[in-house]
Amino acid sequence: MDSHIEACLLQLTSITQDLPGVARGLSSEQFNWRPSPGQWSIGQCVEHLNITTERYLPVLRSAIAEARASGKLSHWPLALGLLERAFLRMLEPPVRMRAKAPKAFVATETLSPGETLSRWDRLNVELGECLRLAEGLDHRRVRVRSQFGPMSFSLAATFLILLAHDRRHIWQARQVRNAGSFPRE
């Protein structure tokens, strides 16, 4: 397995193990509680990740299939561009710069903990499958259109950005759970 894919799969495993400590076992009230009207609940953080992954999976599958069909194969070491590295640094927690999510990526205010978390589990399994499908591709030459704006990133950067994005919002959900006024039940 190439080292980039292996590293991404390890990150995905870590993320998959991290969220349950923040979001599982909560009542509906706790899952949907918001510290203030302008902040997201734990449920909204998780659902935002679901929406994002769901939007990216078909784009990733298509880019991977096209790359395989056109023979964009390589085993060269990973190298990210300057913009990609800067974008990754911006996403990593702790959050230093807030960004407003496009409306299409904002979750509703009331979510079912069980359904939202089951969906999150399923989508992460599918993301892992996508990572495995990308084995042997030239992750630098394969471009993936961003679902957040008019730009594209390499396949390597897209995977890393999605994983950093997950860590960012799990960190955000943890901040909600650690808020002094969080309902403890």
What pLDDT digit, counting tens, does each position of 17-48 carry?
A: 999 999 999 999 999 999 999 899 999 999 99
Residue 184 located in a structural domain: no
- Would you call 142 exposed, middle or buried from its count of C-beta atoms within 10 A (0-12, 13-18, 19+)? buried
At residue 101 the predicted structure's pLDDT band, cuts being 50, 70 and 90, is: confident
Please state the pTM of the whole predicted model. Answer: 0.93
**Domain-embedded: residue 8:** yes
- 182 lies in some domain: no
Residue 180 clears pLDDT 90, i.e. is over it: yes
Q: Domain containing 41 — which CATH number?
A: 1.20.120.450
Here the tokens at position 115 are 């359904």
* Residues 6+ away with beta carbon under 8 Å from 40: 34, 48, 107, 172, 176
The number of folded domains in the chain is 1
CA angle 128–133–138, rounded 5-degree value: 115
In a domain, 185, yes or no: no
Q: Tell me which residue range forms the domain holding 149.
A: 3-177
Average pLDDT over residues 60-65: 97
**19 lies in a domain?**
yes
What tens digit of pLDDT does each residue of 107-134 get?
999 999 999 999 999 999 999 999 999 9
Residue 168 lies in a domain: yes
Q: Is residue 183 part of a domain?
A: no
